[in-house]
A and B are shown apart, each in its own frame.
Chain A
Amino acid sequence: MTGPVIQVEGLYKNYGTVTALRGVNFSVEEGEVFGLLGPNGAGKTTTVEILEGMRTPDRGLARVCGLDPEKSGSRFKEMIGAVLQSTSLPDKIRVKEAIDLFANFYRVHGNTNDLLKRFQLEEKRDAFYSQLSGGQKQRLAIAMALVNNPQVVFLDEPTAGLDPQVRREIYDIIEELKRGKKTVLLTTHYIEEAERLCDRVAIIDYGRVIKIGTPRELKHASAGTTRIEVRLAKPVDNGVLGQLDAVANAREFDGTYVLHSTRAPHTIVALVKHLESDSNELQSLEMFSPSLEDVFIELTGRRLRD
């Protein structure tokens, strides 16, 4: 198709007195893995659920494959696959039954045995849903989302709450979708997930998209700073740390001071000197190369998991 597969313009949504979206804009091209990166409550799920046709925006435009998700009914649903932030099924449904059940709702659908094999659920085919681990439930949710071989896949925090091993398994599945040229909209608050999987990322906070770009572009936009995280014996003023040599900005999060430095060695020397003169001392010091986390901090003044 010509033009973007997903188009979002000026999306607004309120829940009573709470404003969830304040004019969200972005578009996703065909075959692209697009990430919505932001902390909890930023508006990621609301955006995705509007695009899935599950919520009505107060204002603005949402289109998927040129269709209005809310008004296009079955035609639209045949085209998409989605993993909700939290998928629930009846406890006593078996794994194979669940895939068969959802496959039967679509005009075109994949083979259940192939899906069981692809998502490593063959051994669990006769297990009840209630007997599955968190990772197995999530793999089943993804298998059900892909049962109709959709053009567009929505994955709402697909790895939230999973252990690192299972998370890596889910990453492999998303990379497979990427190789299969599926258009994927992924929401996450995991930096490494966005960096590893997404072609482009929109950083979203308080219901607004504040920056869009490739992970590389966004990191480059953080002025190539190095993040230095230190813990000190005695508290100090952020302002003082911000004036140290080569420090672009300094912030404190729960007793950890985060300095973004354009020349890390100079900053460390200056920091040590300052602490000596202030009769203070270092408890720990860690250095990180620029990441999307730094971009997020620079743009919002907050960490992703605040």
Chain B
Amino acid sequence: MASNVIRNTWTLTKIRVRLAMRNRTFLFFSLIMPLGFLFFFVTIFSKGDTAWTAYILGAILTMTVMGSFWGLSVQLVMFREAGILRRFRLAPLGAGPMLASSILSNYILVLPSVAIEILVTKFALHMQGWGNLWAIFLLVSIGSATFSAFGLIVASVTNTMQETQVINQVIWTAFLFLSGATVPLARFPHWIQGASLFMPATYLATGLENAATNLATHSEIITDLVALGIGLLVAFEISRRLFRWEPEAKLPGSAKLWVLAAMIPFIAFGTYENVKGDRLALVRQNFQMLNSASMTTPSKSH
């Protein structure tokens, strides 16, 4: 039984990777666009300051990993609406392999993008050092799976592509702009910084930025990994329970509350960090260190 699940998951993973490689839109959004952002941000904001170049790499890696969220939800809804999932339903195949293969194939596809982004930053944009590569690898691995699982939840609770796009847009915007992935978290007012600790994206963004700049402590990285890991487990189980094969199998509006259920681990982490944790203090401290480092070189300003 378990061997069937593993075999089916791997079979589906292979075909999903092949299909993605034939999709030009996927290649553009997962490879070309992040590289474009990388060059753009480094040119505009870093201006040769290697510490900031590494920080921007962390932010770009965050966007690449979080992209899993958007891509997977749209793909699953598209497959369901087109009746493709119905055909798979006739085979001896459960929801588990369908969902797990989405996550696994996405991970396989994210890794080369991440590697290319690191290599380009190192050799074309002259980043000094490599950052904490192990921490980057672990955060990318767990983060990619977690954000994929969030995407699958969105796909499971939405009934149409239009609904999916609207919900994705709202969540994506919050993830992108309030987590520190675009604007450094330390630049926000303190109340926004506190609120951002309730978002999974914050743990990924601060983790990757600190890993890329080599400012992260082991305990910080472990906290980030634990938060994302618990988020992954909860999100995968919720998406498995809510999974629908049929286009006409609609979920009641109340089922959308499951999205909030997936946030419970982050509400717990956010509450802890706001009350007792020192994450925000470290974020501010790291930001100051980056700024002071750049002050030593004239012509660098942020």
Given contacts A84-B90, A101-B15, could you give 5 more A-B pairs where the C-beta distance is less than 8 Å? A80-B90, A84-B87, A105-B93, A106-B91, A144-B87
Report A's interface with B, CB cutoff 8 A: 52, 54, 73-74, 77-78, 80, 82, 84, 86-90, 92-93, 97, 101-102, 104-107, 144
Q: How far is the CB of B1 from chain A (nearest CB, A)?
A: 8
Contacts of A78 in B (CB 8 A): 92
Contact assessment for A105 and B11 in the assembled complex, using a CB-CB cutoff below 8 Å: yes
Contact assessment for A73 and B92 in the assembled complex, using a CB-CB cutoff below 8 Å: yes
Contact assessment for A105 and B87 in the assembled complex, using a CB-CB cutoff below 8 Å: no
Contacts of B11 in A (CB 8 A): 101, 104-105
Partner of B87, one of A87, A92, A104, A106: A87
Contacts of A86 in B (CB 8 A): 83
Task: Please count how many residues in chain B sit with their CB below 8 Å of the partner chain's CB atoms.
Answer: 23
Contacts of B44 in A (CB 8 A): none
Contact (A102, B15) CB under 8 Å given A84-B86, A89-B84 = no
Q: How far is the CB of B161 from chain A (nearest CB, A)?
A: 15
Contact (A92, B19) CB under 8 Å given A74-B92, A102-B91 = yes
Is B302 located at the chain interface by the 8 A CB criterion? no
A–B pairs, 21, beta carbons within 8 Å: A54-B90, A54-B246, A73-B92, A77-B91, A77-B93, A78-B92, A84-B90, A87-B83, A88-B82, A88-B86, A89-B87, A90-B19, A92-B19, A93-B19, A97-B18, A101-B11, A102-B91, A104-B7, A105-B8, A107-B4, A144-B87
B85-118: CB near A (< 8 Å → 1, else 0) gives: 0110111110000000000000000000000000
Contact (A77, B83) CB under 8 Å given A97-B15, A101-B11, A105-B11 = no
Q: How far is the CB of A46 from chain B (nearest CB, A)?
A: 12
Contacts of B18 in A (CB 8 A): 97
Q: Which of B19, B91, B246 has the most CB of A within 10 A?
A: B91
Report B's interface with A, CB cutoff 8 A: 4, 7-8, 11-12, 15, 18-19, 22-23, 79, 82-84, 86-87, 89-93, 245-246
Contacts of B19 in A (CB 8 A): 90, 92-93
Contacts of B92 in A (CB 8 A): 73-74, 77-78, 105-106
Distance of A84 Cα from B18 Cα, bound (Å): 25
Contact assessment for A92 and B84 in the assembled complex, using a CB-CB cutoff below 8 Å: no
Contacts of B245 in A (CB 8 A): 54
Contacts of B93 in A (CB 8 A): 77, 105
Distance of A104 Cα from B79 Cα, bound (Å): 20
Q: Which residue of B lies closest to A77 (CB)?
A: B92
Q: How far is the CB of B192 from chain A (nearest CB, A)?
A: 41
Partner of B4, one of A74, A82, A92, A144: A74
Distance of A77 Cα from B90 Cα, bound (Å): 7
Contact assessment for A90 and B84 in the assembled complex, using a CB-CB cutoff below 8 Å: yes
Partner of A52, one of B8, B84, B90: B90
Q: Which 7 A-B pairs have the closest CB atoms?
A: A74-B92, A77-B92, A88-B83, A105-B91, A92-B22, A104-B11, A88-B84
